[in-house]
Amino acid sequence: MTIAARDFRELRLEGMSRRFGNVNALRDVNLAVRRGEFIALLGPSGCGKSTALNCLAGLLTLTSGSIWLDSARIDRLKPEERGFGMVFQNYALFPHMSVRRNVGFGLVMRGVDKAEIDRKVSEALSIVRLGDQGDKLPGQLSGGQQQRVAIARAIVIEPPLVLMDEPLSNLDAKLRLEMRAEIRRIHELIGSATIYVTHDQEEALSLADRIVVMRDGVVRQVGTPLELYAQPAYSDVAEFMGYRNLIRSRVSAAGSISIGGGAFQGTPIGPLSSGDVVVAVRPDDLRAAADGPLAITVESAQYHGRDFYCSGRAADATELYFVSAHQVQKGETVRLAADPKRVLIYPGAPS
């Protein structure tokens, strides 16, 4: 194989900011990305992740800050001068061009010799496992195949960085799982850095070496999937990472916290002072147990193949989401318990 990412050591974002009128879509983003690293930008709609990607690609100019590829400042370069590969949510393929012509388009624009284009296109199609589809039009392919064409077009130019903007959002659940594995395989094969925008925490956890959680244009936390999953630094990050139960509480003199009137032990995240705290618990970690400290009345139960994912209310009307290994019925009273390591306690009130 000869297709490989252009060599570099580090991409750096230094104070990257972007305003639209009076709205700060990005505020002082600082990040260093190493060659070969897979970074996921994760957050809800409007958090700034796609704006960040478009600034990297050169589709948006910076209001302030800078972008560096090793010692070269690149935020002043045109998109085509940066040499990055881009994979869009809607594929952005030319419908009147064959798959081969779509993949080779960037090389044609660079004035590459035809024989070299043919060789690289064939190799790129082989990498994405579409070697026998080159003569078809995009409309003759499935959604998953079209996404593979878009990836082939991005990698054929041998970019130092591949930018992906929610590339799997238009695919069904089965194809999304398949394409996740393919994207990671291709990333490792060509050795580029990848920056991947998603609002799906499961995608980010399964694909990324590091996850950048964003909110309101600000980077809230950067960490490995394990770090983000196990101990989010803030309650709002915890909420986005699947800690669906966020409960206002207070720490007692004995060090316990109250959830719906039941006394639980937990794990403080950062120093706790007297006063209000926020308790974060995943539904998977709040489980039915006969001797649990909390009694809850079931309001709904959905079977997810192995467990029942349920919601209910405690005596003080606190709504909670939990998991039961056994079928429960609406109106039934269930007792709940949780491992103290999985009950996270944050200072202050929910932001």
Report pLDDT digits (tens) over 250-309.
888 777 899 998 999 999 998 876 678 999 999 999 988 889 999 999 999 999 888 999
Q: Are 109 and 103 in contact (CB under 8 A)?
A: no
Q: What average pLDDT does the chain have? A: 91
Pairing of strands 344-347, 267-268: parallel
Q: Whole-angstrom distance between the N-terminal and C-terminal Cα of the chain?
A: 50
Asked if residue 318 has pLDDT above 90, the reply is yes
pLDDT at 1 over 60: no
> What is the pLDDT, as a whole number, of residue 276?
86
- pLDDT for the residue numbered 255: 78
Query: How many whole angstroms separate alpha carbon 137 and alpha carbon 152?
Result: 15
What does the pLDDT average to over 188-213? Answer: 94
Q: Up-side HSE of residue 68: CA atoms within 13 Å toward CB?
A: 15
d(CA 349, CA 351): 6
Query: pLDDT-derived band of residue 5, with 50, 70 and 90 as boundaries?
Result: low
**Which stretch of DSSP H or E encloses residue 299?**
strand 294-303
Count CB neighbours of 37 within 10 A.
Answer: 17
What φ, ψ does residue 130 adopt, rounded to 5°? -130, 30
Q: Which helix (H) or strand (E) holds 80?
A: helix 79-82
Query: Over the stretch 73-116, which tens digit does the pLDDT of each residue have?
Result: 999 999 989 999 999 888 889 999 999 999 999 999 888 999 99
| Cβ atoms of residues 309 and 283 within 8 Å | yes
Highest mean pLDDT among 35-39, 42-46, 125-129, 325-329: 35-39
Query: Taking the CA atoms of the chain, what radius of gyration do you get in angstroms?
Result: 24
pLDDT at 350: 47
pLDDT digits (tens, 9 = 90+) for 135-156: 999 999 988 899 999 999 999 9
Helices (H) and strands (E) in the chain, counts: 9, 21
Distance CA 50, CA 205 (A): 18
Cα gap 172→163, rounded to integer Å: 22
Mean pLDDT of 221-239: 94
Residue 8 has pLDDT above 70, yes or no: yes
Give SS3 for 201: helix
Taking the C-alpha atoms of residue 219 and residue 235, their distance in angstroms, rounded to an integer, is 14
Contact 264, 284 (CB under 8 A): no
Helix (H) or strand (E) holding 235: helix 235-240
Q: Which residues pair with 210 in a beta bridge?
A: 39
Q: Are strands 64-69 and 210-215 parallel, antiparallel or unpaired?
A: unpaired
Span 156-167, average pLDDT: 93
CA-wise closest residue to 211 among 224, 192, 202, 220: 224
Who's near 351: CB < 8 A, 6+ residues apart? 234, 235, 236
CA distance 287 to 309: 10
Weakest-pLDDT range from 40-54, 171-185, 311-325 = 171-185
Surface-to-core class of residue 186, CB atoms within 10 Å of its CB (0-12 exposed, 13-18 middle, 19+ buried): buried
Judge whether residue 175 has pLDDT over 90. Answer: no
Give the DSSP H/E element, type plus range, for residue 349: none
Q: Give the pLDDT of residue 173.
A: 84
What pLDDT does residue 171 have? 84
Hey, what are 287's tokens?
Answer: 């489980």
